[in-house]
Amino acid sequence: MQDTVQDTVQDSVQDTLQTRTNGKRWTLDYPELGTAPLPVTPYLSPEYFTQEREKIFNRTWLCTGKRVEEISQAGDYLVQNVEVAKTSVLLVRGKDGMVRGFHNVCKHRGNRLAWDGYGSCRSGLTCKFHGWTYAPDGRLVGVPEEDMFFDFDKRDYGLSPVATDVWEGFIFINLDPNPPETLHQYLGEVVDLLRGYSFDRLPVSWSYTAEQTCNWRILRDSQLEFYHGKSLHQRFAGSVMVNKQQPSCHVLDTKLFRRHSMMSFYGDRRNTQRTPMELLVAQFGTSLKTFPSLRDMDRWPLGVNPTRSKQWFFDIYYIFPNFHMVILSPFLYVAHTMWPVTVNRSIWNARGYFPQPATAAELVTREYNKCLARDVWLEDGSTLENTQRGIETGILTQYPVQDQELLIRHAHKVAEDLIAD
């Protein structure tokens, strides 16, 4: 009897492995991507970086990672620097409620108009240099000694607009003065997959920024797979990721879109370590580890745990080129924005979106989650500059990409196609 059970388990494992080998590997569904190793050129080459600037960052929609709630009142603004494009964008909430983007450059002599990250300019934004003042909708409304200029009309000197649009509260910009497609066209299937997600009910609960001496793709690629979860994050995720049925499999599903992609990861939360603080936090608030009840899964957005698996850990969504979300539950996600600066410098913004604490006790439970997420990010951060250094030795000319790192392969192809265009 025991033999039979053993055999059946053995058979089912064999079957699964065989099925995967015979065509269930995700990568083989996309023959145009191939299976060859990828070149390290993008991590190293100043020429390639220039191409990325011109063909990608100056042309596609870029998620700022900032949310409309951060500039909720008329006149509120924030500054989004885009070093790769050598520009700075001012995002302002108008009196009509619209969020508009402008190049953060005074039209008099070119001084940077707003120097602070966040501010409010209800009564107009005044340049510190000569006192020119602009309305929140970009019109030039005040010029000291205006009568001393020649053939001068203020209407000719409004701020230069930047194409700006909003998806689910996230502010996107496009530095192409005439974007060939709208933001919603650009986002494609992602719009439907995440419709209904509680983005508007989850405030920015923590946010960190780090400058890294590494190419922006090293930063990005580190977040496009969770192969590293079993090793780099073994203390946090190791036990949850153990898949006895298919030890090499940690992916439940993946979808590649025209530009963007998603991947859904296996994880068995019953194997979460129930440490003393974990139990207290679960009792008095929400825990990122023991989170969410899987009870109401049928009511979740289509794109959250798309296979409706009970062994679901989280999903990642990659919005090409610089935005990445990790959806951990219907009411908890984190997001990464990655900005190139130079070929070997980049800026990483990592944020947590978490339910609004209702009591001071929930401030403590939120802090527990924040510190846990931060420390896991510090694990991520440890590899970035070391990988750049390793690649700069010239020892690697290419690197192999396994099936479950497919999003890296796809993102590389999307960039290659845009650069060749």
Partner 1 sequence: MSNPRLPESFTDLEPLADVWALATETERNQQRLTSTMTQIQAFYDTMLPRMEAVLTYLGQFSIKYPPEPIDALPEEAQRLLYLSLAMAEVTTAVELYQQPGVPDGFDPRRFIPDRERMKR
- Partners of 90 in beta bridges: 79, 102
Phi, psi of 77 (to 5 degrees): -140, 160
Q: Is 323 in the site for partner 1 (CB under 8 A)?
A: no
Query: If binding is defined by CB under 8 A, does position 287 make contact with partner 1?
Result: no
Which candidate, 356, 348, 88, places its Cα nearest to that of 220? 348
Instruction: Give the bridge partners for 113, in sequence order.
Output: none
Per CB under 8 A, 363 contacts partner 1: yes
Judge contact between 83 and 347, C-beta under 8 A: yes
Question: Which one of the spans 103-111, 223-231, 328-336, 363-371 is the region binding partner 1 (CB under 8 A)?
Answer: 363-371
Distances (CA, A) of 132 to 155, 184, 196: 13, 36, 43
Q: Is 115 in the site for partner 1 (CB under 8 A)?
A: no
Per the CB < 8 A criterion, the answer to whether 64 and 80 are in contact is yes
* Spatial separation of the C-alpha atoms in residues 349 and 84, rounded to whole Å: 15
Choice from 94, 124, 196, 203 touching partner 1 (CB under 8 A): 203
| Residue 378 within binding range of partner 1, rule CB under 8 A | yes
Q: Which stretch binds partner 1 (CB under 8 A): 26-34, 81-89, 280-288, 390-398?
A: 280-288
Determine which residue in the list 382, 389, 398, 417 makes contact with partner 1, applying CB under 8 A. Answer: 382
- At its nearest, how many Å lie between partner 1 and the CB of residue 117? 7
Single residue of 5, 148, 358, 420 touching partner 1 by CB under 8 A: 358
Stretch that binds partner 1, among 163-171, 252-260, 271-279, 302-310 (CB under 8 A): 271-279
Give 70's strand partners. Answer: none
Say how many C-beta atoms besides its own lie within 10 A of residue 185's C-beta. Answer: 12
Pick between residue 59 and residue 370 the one whose CB is nearest to partner 1.
370
**Residue of the chain from 235, 258, 310, 389 that contacts partner 1 (CB under 8 A):** 235
Neighbours of 234 (CB within 10 A): 13
> Which residue shows structure tokens 């190419």?
215
Does residue 238 interact with partner 1 by CB under 8 A? no
98 binds partner 1 (CB under 8 A): no
Tokens of 17: 């492995």
Question: 239 Cβ partners below 8 Å, 6+ apart?
Answer: 271, 272, 273
379 binds partner 1 (CB under 8 A): yes
Tell me how far, at minimum, the Cβ of 118 lies from partner 1, in Å: 4
**Residue 207 found at the interface with partner 1 (CB under 8 A):** yes
Residues that bind partner 1 (CB under 8 A): 116-119, 203, 206-211, 235-236, 273, 275-278, 280, 283-284, 349, 356-365, 367-368, 370-372, 374-375, 377-382, 384
